[in-house]
Amino acid sequence: MENLTSLQAAELSGHLLTLNESIEDFLFDNIKVFSEEQKEKLCYSLDLISGYAQDILAFSTILVMDDVQASLTEIKTITEQIKTTLKTLRNIQKGVDIATSVVKLGAAITDKNPQKIIDAISGLVKIGNT
């Protein structure tokens, strides 16, 4: 398990913010299709993701991840895949599920729980590939 450098934390935070922006665009592009409950859940998820991104920067010196560079590479790849997917996605529930998966990743990182981080990355990859 390695500590994240400030540059790695900035990269990781940037990926979360990119995902947050893509999810926000998805929400606004499809606002008329969302139920009120889905809108509320997505808005709440967006707030959480933004907060986790800020926390990652603030706590970069104490955050740890297994195989940091490989994890960052995987997160970068899935970020780009999800960003592309959300631009054309019409399945509202999948959009909500993606947001939930990003929240889980942010929570796992800020909780400094390596197994939860691995699980969250895997979950994000899985939902990004379906």
DSSP reduced 3-state for 65? strand
79, 18 in Cβ contact below 8 A? yes
Report d(CA 128, CA 105) in Å as an integer: 13
Looking at residue 73, its pLDDT comes to 86
Task: Give the C-alpha separation, 96 to 69, whole Å.
Answer: 28
Dist CA 34 CA 8 (whole Å): 35
73 Cβ contact list (under 8 Å, min separation 6): none
Percentage helix, strand, coil for the chain under 3-state DSSP, each rounded to 5:
80, 5, 20
pLDDT tens for the chain, residues 1 to 130? 567 777 888 888 999 999 999 999 999 999 999 999 999 999 999 999 999 998 887 776 565 565 677 888 888 999 999 999 999 998 999 999 999 999 999 999 888 888 888 899 999 889 888 7
The model's pTM is 0.81
